[in-house]
């Protein structure tokens, strides 16, 4: 069974797009958070970003991170921090915002490293985020309403990004860094041992192609002891 699970996780990781992400600016409704992260997983986004204001900072370690265990959620407590992270990864920043300068979301080249900024449900994206964006994008609409639900808008843009990247062959070759791939494989294949490693302060061991743990006798001994006991042994 573990080999089947490892194979399934490997299939997932083969398609991950480390240079495509979503950044949610104070999106705070649980169903929207969950839907955004679920769609990100579906198109191969590996990590999303969430910016929390003082009023909803308590959600940072609960709602978003529990929405989808296969997508990392990086929490930020200021827009500047999030923007600095995204720009350090050479992302083009796209703000979902209607203005005279906005372009049709389908006109963007999503094969470039890309971060899609989503605004809060009530007020949309902030002026500061708009000013920092490389492009503002809009989804054409011909009805009476002027905007879509934030999770629906996210899905439309992400699937356009997926379409372009598939056409460019970006899903054909694994692109995730080995260290990150190994981490996800171990946490996904051996969640109980992963939790124990975190609790005891132990490094993750290697696993073979069938998902079996490769570890020294010392590692196994420490896994069976409480942390204070094996730290005492190390000090001797």
Q: What is the DSSP letter of 202?
A: P
Q: What is the pLDDT of residues 29-66, one digit of tens each?
A: 888 999 999 999 999 999 999 998 766 655 555 554 44
Q: What is the pLDDT of residues 108-143, one digit of tens each?
A: 999 999 999 998 877 788 999 999 999 999 999 888
CA angle, 93 as apex, 149 and 184 as ends, to 5°? Answer: 80
**Annotated binding residue at 96?**
yes
Residue 145 pLDDT more than 70?
A: yes
Q: Where are the domains of the chain?
A: 17-167, 178-235
Q: How far is CA 185 from its chain centroid?
A: 16
Please answer whether residues 182 and 205 qualify as being in contact, where contact means their C-beta atoms are separated by less than 8 angstroms.
no
**Annotated binding residue at 79?**
no
> What span, in angstroms and rounded, lies between the C-alpha atoms of 110 and 103?
14
Please answer whether residues 98 and 125 qualify as being in contact, where contact means their C-beta atoms are separated by less than 8 angstroms.
no
Q: Which CATH number is correct for 17-167, 3.20.20.30, 3.40.1280.10, 3.90.800.10, 3.40.50.460?
A: 3.40.1280.10
**Annotated binding residue at 59?**
no
Q: What is the pLDDT of residues 189-231, one digit of tens each?
A: 999 999 999 999 999 999 998 889 999 999 999 888 765 554 4
CA distances, 112 to each of 72, 76, 92 (Å): 21, 23, 7
Kind plus residue range of the DSSP H or E element containing 8: helix 2-14
């Amino acid at each position: 069974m573990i080999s089947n699970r490892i194979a399934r996780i490997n299939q997932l990781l083969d398609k991950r797009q480390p240079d495509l992400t979503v950044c949610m600016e104070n999106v705070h409704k649980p169903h929207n958070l969950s839907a955004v992260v679920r769609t990100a997983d579906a198109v191969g986004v590996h990590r999303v970003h969430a910016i929390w204001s003082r009023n909803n900072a308590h959600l940072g370690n609960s709602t978003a991170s529990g929405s989808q265990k296969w997508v990392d959620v990086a929490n930020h407590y200021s827009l500047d921090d999030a923007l600095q992270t995204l720009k350090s990864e050479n992302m083009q920043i796209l703000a979902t915002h209607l203005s005279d300068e906005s372009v049709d979301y389908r006109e963007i080249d999503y094969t470039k490293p890309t971060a899609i900024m989503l605004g809060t449900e009530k007020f949309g994206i902030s002026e500061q985020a708009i000013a920092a964006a490389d492009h503002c994008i809009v989804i054409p609409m011909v009805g009476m309403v002027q905007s879509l639900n934030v999770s629906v808008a996210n899905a439309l843009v992400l699937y356009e990004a997926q379409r372009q990247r598939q056409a460019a062959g970006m899903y054909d070759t694994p692109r995730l860094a080995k260290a990150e791939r190994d981490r996800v494989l171990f946490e996904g294949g051996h969640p109980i041992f992963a939790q124990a490693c975190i609790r005891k302060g132990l490094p993750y061991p290697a696993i073979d192609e069938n998902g079996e743990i490769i570890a020294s006798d010392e590692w196994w001994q420490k896994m069976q002891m409480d942390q204070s006991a094996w730290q005492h042994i190390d000090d001797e």
